[in-house]
Structure 1
Amino acid sequence: MLVCSSITAQQDSLVVVEADEKYFEDQFYFGINYNILVSAPHDISQNSFSYGIIGGFIKDFPINKRRNIGFGLGAGLSFNAVYSDLMATKNANGTIAYQEVPDTIDYNRNKLSMNFVEFPIEFRWRSSKAEDYRFWRVYAGFKLSYLFTGRSKFVTSDERIVFSNKDIRDLQYGIYLSFGYNTWNFYAQYDLTSIFEDNVYTVDGEPIAPRTLKAGLIFYIL
């Protein structure tokens, strides 16, 4: 905030700069992370680079006089890809069968893609001041995610199988933590729900209930 006061009685103009003591840390955010499967079925492993991209906006709600402690409430999108050897095939009756990719099949990639609308709510601490835009931060929160597209894709040199996967859980949620200085911040999230709905099994009868651990970087833009 700039407050200008002009003194005309044979004095130079005076410019006074005052900080806004009721500032907010409203922020756009963007992040990229690596998706790690936790509690995957036996003998199922990841391959290639399983990635996630997040972005959105968070509204700041300070709760103390210094305004360095508060809550944040936001909305955003996330785009996720998990590459593994858990192969999904859709039968003629619409059911989906899961198994490890057989050794006899030479394939290019096997991907599960999931895209969500997300609603984070977080507790916020920072070392900020009204006149300082570079500061340390620690944000911890809970994130609710709603699936808007989920697909399985299996690609070989001869065929390409892609279909919408109805077994992916529509409503997922997890806890997360971000901390760092200024723009660069570490980000980690652990999903409390499994990727798939309950009662999804491999062809061998093993339950499929993997969860996702995400680790990467998040950037905040004022």
Structure 2
Amino acid sequence: MKNYYILFCIVCFGFSQFSFAQNDSKPKAEALTVIDSLYKEDQFYLSMTYNVLANLPSGVEQTGFSLGLHAGFIKDMPINKQRNVAIGIGLGYSYNSFNQNLGIIKGDDDVTNFVVLDDTYDFDYSKNNFYLHMVELPIEFRWRTSTATDYRFWRVYTGFKLGYVFYNISNFQGEVGDVRYTNIDGFNDLQYGLTLSVGYNTWNFYVYYALNSIFEDDVKTLLTQESVDMNAIKFGLIFYLL
């Protein structure tokens, strides 16, 4: 009986060792990394620009910092297998201020006059600007060095942007009083131009060059009857988010 007991213990011990060896020999499951083969880039954008007026009429000049703020969504649509070339189409909002010395004044007949505020007018003023609120449609051709796992990359995005001015404001503050107008006649409702974004990772340089005038073709300065063909150039930074 004693011999059977010893034999039973030996068999149990051997079986337990065999089971342990079998379990230990099984390969450990490795963590799986999921790679999105249909990844997209840069769906949202935020931008801040310095707005410059070009093609100024005689006597007109900018008088301070003119700010632009822009934000929106762009649908990224890769067009090659590597997904580093894409077309982007989006929708955004743009706020633009322009500080300058072209006064916008309405006469008694409610006709809008555009007056160059120079030495001809003997009064002081502290502020003269206009603001444009726009809905924008950006269209871009996009090239980048991104991959499905690399989130820091070079990008060059170039394209065209169409904007609709849905609200404009003119603001004047001076010794003759404070004058504020909204939705003034004479502004081009449609604004359009070329865009370029170049950069790496977070920091990207942005430029917009308007192809048409801010004002309509028949807008002229009051005294000289010179056409006001000013167009906007915007320089700044743009930030992209997924």
- One fold, TM greater than 0.5? yes
2:42–2:240 Cα contact (<8 Å) kept: no
Distance (whole Å) between structure 1 residues aligned to residue 27 and residue 173 of structure 2: 78
Match of 1:31 among 38, 41, 47: 47
1:87-102 to 2 correspondence within 5 Å?
87-102=103-118
User: Can you give the 5+ residue segments of structure 2 that lack an aligned partner in the other structure?
Assistant: 1-22
* Aligned counterpart, 2:240: 220
Match of 1:147 among 165, 171, 184: 165
2:220–2:228 Cα contact (<8 Å) kept: yes
Matched, 1:190 2:209: yes
Which structure shows the bigger proportion of residues in helix conformation?
A: 2
1:168–1:195 Cα contact (<8 Å) kept: yes
Distance (whole Å) between structure 2 residues aligned to residue 13 and residue 62 of structure 1: 34
State the Cα deviation string for residues 186-220 of structure 1 (Å, max 9, x = none).
00000011000111111121111100111111011
Distance (whole Å) between structure 2 residues aligned to residue 129 and residue 10 of structure 1: 34
Match of 1:73 among 61, 82, 89: 89
* Aligned counterpart, 1:62: 78
| TM-score relative to the length of structure 1 | 0.93
State the Cα deviation string for residues 7-45 of structure 1 (Å, max 9, x = none).
999443321113212111142110111111111101110
* Aligned counterpart, 1:135: 153
Change (3 A) 1:8 1:172: farther
Say which SS state the counterpart of residue 15 (structure 1) adopts: coil
Output the amino acid matched with 1:196: F
Distance (whole Å) between structure 1 residues aligned to residue 132 and residue 34 of structure 2: 47
User: Displacement of 1:111 after TM fit?
Assistant: 0.5
2:145–2:155 Cα contact (<8 Å) kept: yes
1:48–1:83 Cα contact (<8 Å) kept: yes
Distance (whole Å) between structure 1 residues aligned to residue 154 and residue 123 of structure 2: 50
Matched, 1:15 2:35: no
Output the amino acid matched with 2:174: T
The two structures, once aligned, show a CA RMSD in angstroms of 1.6
Give the number of equivalent residue pairs. Answer: 216
User: Can you give the 5+ residue segments of structure 1 that lack an aligned partner in the other structure?
Assistant: 1-6
User: Displacement of 1:157 after TM fit?
Assistant: 4.9
1:150–1:166 Cα contact (<8 Å) kept: no
Match of 2:191 among 167, 172, 179: 172
Output the amino acid matched with 1:209: D
1:183–1:221 Cα contact (<8 Å) kept: no
Moved more, 177-186 or 163-172: 163-172
User: Displacement of 1:83 after TM fit?
Assistant: 0.4
* Aligned counterpart, 1:49: 65
* Aligned counterpart, 1:108: 126
Matched, 1:159 2:177: yes
* Aligned counterpart, 2:140: 122
Distance (whole Å) between structure 2 residues aligned to residue 22 and residue 191 of structure 1: 35
User: Displacement of 1:110 after TM fit?
Assistant: 0.2
Instruction: Say which one has the larger Rg.
Output: 2
Output the amino acid matched with 1:74: G
1:87–1:99 Cα contact (<8 Å) kept: yes
